[in-house]
Structure 1
Amino acid sequence: MNFLLLLLRACLRASRRAGAAVALGGSGLAMGLAALPAAAQTPVKMVLNWKYEGAQSWFFLAQDKGYFKAEGLDVSFDQGEGSAASVPKVAAGAYQAGFGDINALIDLASKRPDNAPVGVFMLYNTPPFALVVRADSPIRVPADLEGKTVGGPANDGALKLFPAFARIAKVDASKVTITNMAPNLREQMLSRGQIDAGFGYVTTVSFSARGMGLDPARDLRFIRYGDHGMDLYANTIFFSRSFVKDNPKAVLGFVRALNRAIKEVIANPDAGIDALMKREPLLKRDVEKDKLLATLKNDMSHPEIARIGLGDVDDARLRKNIEIVAEANQLPRAPGVREVFDRSFLPARAERLSATTAP
């Protein structure tokens, strides 16, 4: 009796005692993985761009469906305080990963290249940055901001980019008064006339206004940065430089799991909202679903994804993006494209979406 047969009989006896099945592969013996010790999970602590909302639902779906766990990852999420705020938190080592504004990342990469995180999956490929005014406001073009008061949360991405916008749009920034407020007060202060304009993302402002009973299409107007020569990328998934170096397989697995969840949420938005509502049951489900769909339309719909796929960047466009931010903000240097974004962790082009239109 050969050794393989003896081993097979021993396994069968063990499986009967345990009440488990032993699976036999076409080439020989397959041992049940459940009988083996659980593999160690690499912890990944991630800070998001904002409070839990519909446009983050793919993160939660990937967690709930075990996609991260299947990649050997133990992923946890913390709510954020603005798209620019997540970058320094990852750079400081408080988190391994973040979701936030690549332009804040460019700024840090210019000043502290050894500490700056690295983008690995571009989500917001259409510039969402804007100035919002009341529909009856005399502010019609960027130059009309001179002599006015503009407000926004301190960590708002549009506010951080205003020096760049002012230079490109020929606005004398020294004649614009900037004020900060808590994020939940921006739309209130605008509607009451306490500020003349506000900084923000189009989708975020629109839904905050809806929560106050305003109709964004009727009551507000947006001056979008992208309409004035700033075709910039916005929010990306990024990891700390040290984590990328020490755990490349973990980064690869995270991106693979997230890409899978993004495709599922776009195909079935309700599944993503289900995952969100488990975490914040007091949110209004219909509003968060609308916010998700609006994000896909407004922030993730750049024509380039038909060519390069969701998640990637166009090198020439990102290079121009970097140059705009570096020049306008008088940064010490313009970082290279590879310093800011590393596409080597992306799934194959065929596995990534060519459009983000939800059903």
Structure 2
Amino acid sequence: MNLGRITGQVRIVGAGLLGASIGHGLRAKGVDVILHDASRTTATLAIDYGAGRAPQADDKPSLVIVAVPPDVTAEVVARELMAWPQATVTDVASVKVGVIDELIALGADLDRYVGSHPLAGRERGGAISARADLFIGRPWVIGRGEPFRRRAIEDVVIELGAIPVTMSASEHDDAVALISHVPQVVASLLAHRLAGASDAAVGLAGQGLRDTTRIASSAPELWVQILGANAGPVASVLREFQAELAVAIEALENPDAPGSRRALAEVLAGGNDGVARIPGKHGTSKQFSRLVVIIDDKPGQLARLLTEIGEANVNMEDLRLEHSPGAQFGLAEISVLPEKEATLLSELEARGWKIAETFA
């Protein structure tokens, strides 16, 4: 029995990563989750993994969540609105304006529709990659609409541990162009440079390259749809990016020309300013101190390090690992609040850990 905020059935259409993850999260809260997918194999797989149950003839969902590819989202939303005349219907597509425009063209009942979008995901898709904790601490945009309908979606967001954020469709699309869609393009372009690189060059890759290319492994088929649906805002940001890139290229081609080094410095400093605005842990902008700890490449060493950080009564805000193939050690970059840095440094050194670097 569901003892949380959601009392009715929730129908999820689309049993891929997002749909199945929502199903897992709601099922863990005792919600009756109905799973449907155009692919019977996909639906069966997600059900076998416990993300929900198969539809039944007497189903009466109070909320329908559409989690299908962007190019068919509006069509499926319109169909679900017709099929369940009492239900609130939302979608989790990463673009909102195009969906609304298409729903209007289809003559759909927009009074019961409120678009939404969880800012969460993984490089690998599909039901097999779904996780109940995928949305914890992540923003989840909820569009404007009738308050009763919005509350139904907000209840789901809160149950899944996400943070509800209200935005209009156009505000959302402009925002995700900057923080999600353009990074995908830039990461893919950078990673493409590696395709023709020598094995020796690629072998030198460190955490910086891994960080900046991580999302380049995402599925091209899905991203073609996303970028096409949000083409205008993405192109606008890329034009600004292109202009600054041109400044950097000109300065590098003439490094001794008057103003070249200043131009490069301003490009790099602008990056510092932008990074400082990225929300940190728990959605607040914080500057953490970081310690880089050397870890021997032996079983149990990372677990020991994390245990001893806890024993030092220090809360770890973030963790990044780096280990090059063939190396006999790895590096663990530990982020903590600045006031805890000295304590942690002292405790780790007293326990025999080697600190490679500390920086704020």
**TM-score category, normalised to shorter length:** under 0.3
User: TM-score, normalised to structure 2's length?
Assistant: 0.27
User: TM-score, normalised to structure 1's length?
Assistant: 0.27
